[in-house]
Amino acid sequence: MNPKYPNLLSPGQIGNVTLRNKTVMAAMGMSQSDNGFVNKAVLNHYAARANGGVGAIIVEVTCVDTPLGLNTNGMLVIDDDKYIPGMTQLADVIHKGGAKAFLQISHTGRGARRKIIGEQPVGPSAVAMPYSFMMGLANETPRALTVDEIHEIEEKYAQAALRAKKAGFDGVEIHSVGYYLGQQFLSSTANTRTDEYGGSRRNRVRFHLNIITRIRELCGNDFAVIVKLSVVEQGKDGGISIPDGIYYSKQFQKAGVDAIEVLAGKWSEESGKREKPESAYPDCMAVPLCQVVKAGLLLTAGKKSVKLIGGGRAQNPEKAEKALATGKCDFIFIGHALLAEPLLVRLIDEGREDEIRPCIGCGHCINNQLQHGERAICSGNAVLARGENNYTLTPAEIKKKVVVIGGGVAGVEAARIAALRGHTVDIYEASGETGGQINLACKPPFKDHFTLLKPYLERQLELTGVNVHLGKQLTKNEVLAMNADAVVCATGSKPVMLRIEGSDRAVFAKDILAGAPAGKNVVVIGGGSTGCETAEFLGKQGKKVTVIEMSEVVAGNTGKTAQTILLGHLKGYGVKILTGCRAEKITQTEVVCKNKSGSGFSVKADTVVLSIGERPDSTLFDELKDIHPEVYNIGDSNGGEILPNAVYEGYTVGNRI
């Protein structure tokens, strides 16, 4: 055991379940089941984390009531005995890896979408879900559940818990966070009922207490029960106050719940400059809430003390250790960090913290599911929810000399994987540093965690023995002279030039992010994610910024959560956004534009910034593809567009060589 983290790495107890350490993998949906059934991808996903050293795994959100309770088409399901065999396999692979297994049981309630469930969603009351920072979508008004229907759903939760026990799980977690039905019953804004299930804290918590009581009847006291609870949900007109959250926690403790995973919920479209995206979340951000709950629980007499699980961006072991050592919480939950790095806890235990692949908080894991209806993806971990999540690399049958051209994320991943498989790899980067687009992506405000990726890439090149050559722009003839068996082109992209009068007076967004000076009045032409982040970058400096965008949507290629926060920042910095407008001419003092009705206007500009897209720079690949026997094109030079695609292409090619 790493002596730096004696509390984090020592055993702990949740109910009658002993964990090998005090780390708990939080439940995170992957949307990779086969119509609700456990498959090879699900098994491999959780086996990798169990083998990676985590103390317990809370398996992702699992539906207790189809179709009404479904969240995505790939959601796991436990509302019928036919799912037990697969769940048994899942519990077995988790136990085989040395971790304890809990199943998160849930109903999506008003958070469900008609296109998934095929009918109107249901909820405690006929109150539509507001914008959710988890989901990024507003839903239609739900149908209020009848009391009889509530009783049926309570029983479905309890029967789901019984199936989990039969499958070999050590316990269950009742999901009461975010846009799920559990939180909806506890929230005064979502639950406006006036019967025994609403109108007061005592009534709003009845749904949970009935479920907990019934689970105990069916599963006994040896089966652990956890509640994942939003201790506070701050909405415009109420929600869940801190006193509410403490009251609910006390009721759960009295009912015999073994642990509470403590989080916060929030609904707000008017975030201004206050709200931070996940890429800037502080470490262990939810731990202070555990302190609040613990203080409230200490006032309650009782033989049994419920354990509190705290976390929130808890991939920093020093912060996690301190939280435990000071008694702020009893266990640490780790979420997205374990998606990015399955071996996280083992690497901490072995003192290899510098090898941990970081979560940068990009949000693609959530966005790809909820906005695009697909499986989760990751900007660091190419394997996450791809295919069958096969984390095993096959040694190359023929060892080759490999040349990788381009030191961005795609190039480094290709070089890393090829080297791990036994090839001799040289990587060439035209600039003086590796990292590619990451070096600029971390420049806008609130991109703090993007800076963590570059040291990881550099360390991986060092560990795998890749020969790194910086400041070297290769030509076709130079590549051919190397007599490499395989060549990987990862040469990136170039900004698209705007073909209008005066465009030679403009600078590119990349130049601004790299440190080029800008005047007081700035016009950004192009309102995609890069254009808006550049406007945010300049707005924070006190510049007067106007964004010109041809479409009616700005930052449309950004995840919904990050998009909403970004637009709030732009509003807070006074950035003016003009949609449905086209730049016609750039002069020394202004940008001449036309709106969608054809009317002309001009915007004062000391500096004009172009951000209308990127085009793949595949020149070298095009020169080599017909004359070299094995050449690949990956990343932005292949039109990769987003970071997860780049890392996946690098991983795939590294395995193919």
The answer to whether residue 303 scores a pLDDT higher than 60 is no
CATH 3.20.20.70 residue ranges for the chain: 12-370
Distance, in Å, from the CA atom of 119 to the CA atom of 111, rounded to the nearest integer, reads: 13
pLDDT tens-digit readout, 217-227: 999 999 999 99
pLDDT tens-digit readout, 34-91: 999 999 999 999 999 999 999 999 999 999 999 999 999 999 999 999 999 999 999 9
Residue with the two structure tokens 């400096």: 541
The answer to whether residue 266 scores a pLDDT higher than 70 is no
Percentage, residues of the chain above pLDDT 70: 96
pLDDT given at position 298: 78
Q: What is the pTM of this model?
A: 0.94
Which of 180, 248, 428, 573 is the catalytic position? 180
CA 601 to chain centroid: 41
Q: Specify whether 651 is catalytic.
A: no
401-494+615-656 CATH pick, 3.90.1150.10, 1.10.10.60, 3.40.1280.10, 3.40.50.720: 3.40.50.720
Question: At a CB cut-off of 8 Å and minimum separation 6, what does 609 contact?
Answer: 506, 507, 508, 509, 512, 518, 522, 523, 524, 525, 531, 534, 538
CATH 3.40.50.720 residue ranges for the chain: 401-494+615-656
Distance, in Å, from the CA atom of 432 to the CA atom of 164, rounded to the nearest integer, reads: 54
pLDDT given at position 39: 97
The answer to whether residue 416 scores a pLDDT higher than 80 is yes
Query: Which band of pLDDT confidence, cut at 50, 70 and 90, is reported for residue 234?
Result: confident
pLDDT given at position 493: 94
Instruction: Sheet containing 424-429: give its strands across.
Output: 467-470, 424-429, 401-405, 486-489, 631-633
pLDDT tens-digit readout, 402-412: 999 999 999 99
12-370 CATH pick, 3.50.50.60, 3.40.50.980, 3.40.605.10, 3.20.20.70: 3.20.20.70
The answer to whether residue 300 scores a pLDDT higher than 70 is no
The answer to whether residue 135 scores a pLDDT higher than 80 is no
pLDDT given at position 445: 93
- 174-180: average pLDDT: 91
pLDDT tens-digit readout, 600-635: 999 999 999 999 999 999 999 999 999 999 999 999
DSSP for 197-237?
TSSSHHHHTHHHHHHHHHHHHHH-TTSEEEEEEEEEEEETT
- 302-326: average pLDDT: 90
Better-scored residue on pLDDT, 548 or 642 = 548
The answer to whether residue 301 scores a pLDDT higher than 60 is no
With CA atoms as reference, report the closest residue to 492 among 550, 450, 445, 441: 441
pLDDT given at position 272: 54
pLDDT given at position 587: 95
Out of 14-23, 381-390, 644-653, pick the least confident. Answer: 381-390
Out of 24-33, 550-559, 647-656, pick the least confident. Answer: 550-559
Strands 331-334 and 259-266 come out as unpaired
The answer to whether residue 190 scores a pLDDT higher than 70 is yes
pLDDT given at position 561: 80
pLDDT given at position 387: 82
Distance, in Å, from the CA atom of 241 to the CA atom of 266, rounded to the nearest integer, reads: 11
pLDDT given at position 633: 98
- 496-517: average pLDDT: 95
pLDDT given at position 404: 98
- 270-287: average pLDDT: 80
Average pLDDT of the chain, as a whole number: 93
pLDDT given at position 528: 94
- In a 3-state reduction of DSSP, which class is residue 496? coil
Query: Which band of pLDDT confidence, cut at 50, 70 and 90, is reported for residue 350?
Result: very high
Query: Which band of pLDDT confidence, cut at 50, 70 and 90, is reported for residue 539?
Result: very high
pLDDT given at position 269: 53
The answer to whether residue 441 scores a pLDDT higher than 80 is yes
Query: Which band of pLDDT confidence, cut at 50, 70 and 90, is reported for residue 368?
Result: confident
The CATH code that applies to domain 503-612 is 3.50.50.60
- 271-284: average pLDDT: 80
pLDDT given at position 332: 98
Better-scored residue on pLDDT, 148 or 298 = 148
pLDDT given at position 370: 81
Q: Are 531 and 242 in contact (CB under 8 A)?
A: no
R_g of the chain computed on alpha carbons:
26
Distance, in Å, from the CA atom of 529 to the CA atom of 549, rounded to the nearest integer, reads: 11
The answer to whether residue 145 scores a pLDDT higher than 90 is yes
The answer to whether residue 392 scores a pLDDT higher than 80 is yes
CATH 3.50.50.60 residue ranges for the chain: 503-612
